[in-house]
Structure 1
Amino acid sequence: MAEPDTVRLRAPSERVSPKARLMWMCTDLLRCVPPMVLLVLATGPWHWFDLPTWSLVAIGVLFLAYGLLVPQWRYHVHRWEVTETAVYTQTGWWARERRIAPMSRVQTVDHREGAIARLFGLATVRVTTASSAGALTIEGLDQQRALAIVEELTRTADSVPGDAT
């Protein structure tokens, strides 16, 4: 039987903020606008190629479905957890990835707020470790919660012996 403080890969328990779904939806739909505009212009006034109207509608419906469904799916999958011994993350919407960073490996803890995230009151916490896989990222956290996590991680990582290498 494993000890209670043993670090092992497992599903994290915390969800990101529900507002992350709306932020992801807006950013995904905004990404779909330029290709749709180019398609409409290319088949309309510039006549680069001929596409039937129904195909433009079908492409638009696909973009809309992507923008509405993928954020829901991401919200269902994206999870995180911080314990005294490790940081756990689970990400992805198509391929899932679970990662763990023992506190003894934490090198830096960053707090980021992009322009769109700030509009929704959200932030990202990024935990850099001594790993070739790169940093662990927790997107879509409430700003105040993200700041509290950064403070907690900094304090906890500082109290763990070792040099994070």
Structure 2
Amino acid sequence: METTTLRPPQHRVSPIARWYWAAHAAVGWLILVAVQVVWLIADGDDIPLRVAGLVATVVLATAHVVVMPVWRYRVHRWEATPEAVYTQSGWFKQEWRIAPVSRIQTVDSARGPLEQLFRLANVTVTTASAAGPVRISGLDRETAQRLVDELTAKAQATAGDAT
């Protein structure tokens, strides 16, 4: 029997994931900026302080929306072998995970509204692990569907009850 060891996965997520991550981050920042603008207009006290806060928010938002997607794209990786599913994710807190095929209980794919717009999907591999499911985010739809089909077939072909 081959031993499964922690190692960097081979495949990157879809390059379009960078645009998705940027858009997702931008939505949150735009809400914060809108609240600050309304507060600036509605209340006339401490205008210089509020303008400084708004400028700081815009600078931080710009840095986050520009740097984070590039950084995450360099880190996020995945791979499915006959023995296991490997993932690497995160950008500040980075995580490497392995899910042996023999432990796979379910394989799911999901797409939120923004992910649908970018034609991306996520694959979730649930195992009996207390660490929770293994997630691969930012795959193009076709790759995600192929991966779900492949992992489902491998899990069904593996003897045992995945516990």
Q: TM-score range by the shorter chain?
A: over 0.9
Counterpart position of 2:158: 160
Out of 10, 14, 34, the position equivalent to 1:13 is 10
Structure-2-length-normalised TM-score: 0.94
Out of 26, 29, 32, the position equivalent to 1:32 is 29
> Would the aligned equivalents of 1:113 and 1:124 in 2 still touch at CA under 8 Å?
yes
Cα RMSD over matched residues?
A: 1.5
Out of 43, 62, 70, the position equivalent to 2:68 is 70
> Would the aligned equivalents of 1:42 and 1:49 in 2 still touch at CA under 8 Å?
no
Which aligned pairs between 1:10-159 and structure 2 lie closer than 5 A?
10-47=7-44, 50=47, 51-159=49-157
Deviation at 1:56, TM superposition (A): 1.7
Deviation at 1:125, TM superposition (A): 0.5
Superimposed CA distance per residue, residues 91-132 of structure 1 (whole angstroms, 9 cap, x where no aligned partner): 101011000000111000001111111111110100000011
Deviation at 1:156, TM superposition (A): 0.5
Residues in 1 aligned to 2:144 and 2:45: alpha-carbon distance in whole angstroms: 48
Aligned CA distance change for structure 1 residues 104 and 57 (closer, same or farther; 3 Å): same
Aligned CA distance change for structure 1 residues 46 and 80 (closer, same or farther; 3 Å): same
Residues in 2 aligned to 1:142 and 1:63: alpha-carbon distance in whole angstroms: 26
> Would the aligned equivalents of 2:119 and 2:140 in 1 still touch at CA under 8 Å?
yes
Give the letter aligned to residue 51 of structure 2.
T
Deviation at 1:39, TM superposition (A): 1.3
Segment drifting more, 58-67 vs 78-87: 58-67
> Would the aligned equivalents of 1:124 and 1:140 in 2 still touch at CA under 8 Å?
yes
Deviation at 1:135, TM superposition (A): 0.6
Give runs of ≥4 in structure 1 deviating > 3 Å: 47-50
Residues in 2 aligned to 1:132 and 1:48: alpha-carbon distance in whole angstroms: 52
Q: Which structure has more helix as a fraction of its residues?
A: 2
Residues in 2 aligned to 1:139 and 1:126: alpha-carbon distance in whole angstroms: 8
Report percent identity of matched pairs. Answer: 46
